[in-house]
Structures are given as C-alpha cells and as structure tokens.
Amino acid sequence: MSISFKKHHLEHHRYQGDEAIDTDIPTLLEARLFKTTFGKFLWVCLQPFFYIFRPLIINPKPPTRLKIINTVVQLTFNALIVYFLGWKPLDYLLIGSILATGLHPRAGHFISEHYMFDKGFETYSGQRIAPEFYETMPQHTSWSRVLYDFIMDPAVGPFARVKRRQRGLAS
C-alpha cells in the first residue's frame, strides 16, 4: 500500500540506521535466525514479507484517512481483476511482486544500498552523481553478485548494518 510505504520509506531515509524508527533494519531475531548460508538464502527469498510485516511490529502507524482510502481502492482494484479476469492475473501480480523483491537480480539493489560488505560503508550508490567523492569508496557492479556475496559470505548478512543512536521523530 503506497500510503503506508511512503511514510515508512521517508522515515527510513531521514533516520537511516535508527533501530527504533528505521523499519528497514532487520530485527535482532532476523539477524540471529538467518545468519547461515541457507538462512540468508531463505531471508532473501522472504525479504518481501519482512518489508511488509516488520513496520507493523517495529514502528506501527495508526490508520489514517488516506491509508483507509488507499486500502479500499487497492482491494476494489484487486476485486475487479478477479471479477473480470479471474484469479490467475491477480496471482501473477502478487507472485511477480514477491519474486521481484526477493531472490531476483533487480532486488539486489535493496541489499547493495544498505548492507555493509566492507566495514563502515553502508551504501554503494551515488558514484555517478558525485564521482569525485565516491570514486575511492567500494562499489558493486552486479546486483546478481551482490545477492551471491550476501548469501555466501559469512561476514555479511541481515546483521551487517550501520546502526545509529535513536534521534527521535522530533528532530
């Protein structure tokens, strides 16, 4: 739901690394459960579900008028798809969304943006924007390789994030 995602995503960028606010940071339970190679593979496959449910647990937001409208519109659209086209197109959209944000090369950018592959460097983007600043920083050249390294490298996993002290929402 775009309205809910927008609020959490803006907070993620504003308070990146703040465990109490940034719902993009895996929980301690995730970091402990998914630290083996197979566990990280499973975590990558299930990543869409963590993105959906983690905000509801870590930093829930009360329903707003816009969220309710957004939910009604989305459910109505889904119902119209099923009514006019059947379940297969809706299944296609749902499964495609899950696959595209899980174990798919394009989904590698989620991991490449915020996980530390080299200690102290949490993001590997921006090289084209300000090359003079970023050219000495590590960078990824393949999102498929990002997924492979994330899963296979014991030093990288859901636990490999830069965390900051809580700053609160008032700032």
Residue 34, C-beta contacts closer than 8 angstroms, at least 6 positions apart: 26, 40, 42, 43, 157, 158
Tokens describing residue 71: 């939910």
What percent of the chain clears pLDDT 90, i.e. is strictly above it? 45
Residue 160 burial (CB count, 10 A): 19
171 domain-assigned: no
pLDDT tens digits, 23-73: 888 998 999 999 999 999 999 999 999 988 998 888 898 999 999 999 999
Residue 1, C-beta contacts closer than 8 angstroms, at least 6 positions apart: 67, 70, 71, 74
32 domain-assigned: yes
Domain that residue 34 falls in:
2-152
Higher-pLDDT residue of 36 and 21 is 36
**Closest listed residue to residue 4, CA positions, set 93, 58, 64:** 64
pTM across the whole model: 0.81
Q: Mean pLDDT across the chain, nearest whole number?
A: 86
Tell me how many domains the chain contains. 1
Q: How far is CA 90 from the centre of its chain?
A: 23
Tokens describing residue 11: 């907070």
**Closest listed residue to residue 113, CA positions, set 90, 138, 82, 88:** 138
